[in-house]
Amino acid sequence: MPYTANKPSRARSSDELRAAIPGWGADLDPKDRPSVPKEQFDPGLNGARWDFPERQPEKWPRERSIEHKFLTPVFGTSAPPRGVSGVIRKYSYKKYSEGRAAHWLLLLAADRVDAWEQHLASFGSLSPDNPITETGVLSEFSRHGITSRFGKKRADLNHQWIDPILVGGPWLIAGGLGFAAVRRLARLHRT
């Protein structure tokens, strides 16, 4: 009990644990572990042959955090900013530091705009988005969707019902609006 000086312990002895568990105590010495101490200064640690890396060519104006003094010498080139979402992203990077909630909230908003921009663009392409195949939801039938969930005391069942609404809801609304627009146009055409 913590109300007196000695530590309560229900642990087995070290000898018992060593006998029962493969490798028990192999890293027993706290000072002899790979990440101890946390910082181990050694500029030659990694075998690099540069003080500062050669710069990767910047093929388009690369957005960067204003907490950086300059563009990092190496950077990712996946999915350059584009469309309205790209404008939002560039504004967020240019205006706000990482310390500002506005920075992250704008980037999250841009993510949602990006998704809808790309969904709409896909309908004009040979590979339109398909929320059935892209969500992988068909695995519910092949991978025991029901028996994996029920009778298992899973804590996540109280919110999993929200996912189909979050994912499918906007598609149903967009489909409904599209249908209404087409019907209205058809009526106008008839009159």
Binding residues among 36-55 for another protein as defined by CB under 8 A: 36, 38-43, 45-54
Interface residues for another protein in 50-109 (CB under 8 A)?
A: 50-54, 56-57, 62-65, 67-68, 71-79, 81, 85, 89, 93, 98, 101, 104-105, 107-108
Question: For 74, which DSSP code?
Answer: S
Query: Nearest approach, Cβ of 113 to another protein (angstroms)?
Result: 10
First CA to last CA distance, the chain:
86
Query: Nearest approach, Cβ of 172 to another protein (angstroms)?
Result: 15
Q: Report if residue 143 touches another protein, rule: CB under 8 A.
A: yes
- Kindly tell me which residue out of 158, 189, 190, 191 binds another protein, with binding defined by CB under 8 A: 158
| Concatenated DSSP letters of 118-172 | HHHHHTTSSS---HHHHHTTTHHHHTTTTTTTTTS--TTHHHHTHHHHHHHHHHH
Long-range contacts of 26-33 (CB under 8 A, 24+ apart): none
CA 176, chain centre distance (Å): 30
- The kind and range of the H/E element at 61 are none
Interface residues for another protein in 108-137 (CB under 8 A)?
A: 108, 110-112, 114-119, 122, 127, 129-131, 133-137
Question: What six digits make up the tokens of 161?
Answer: 């019902």
Q: Report if residue 140 touches another protein, rule: CB under 8 A.
A: yes
- Kindly tell me which residue out of 22, 126, 187, 188 binds another protein, with binding defined by CB under 8 A: 22
Interface residues for another protein in 167-186 (CB under 8 A)?
A: 167
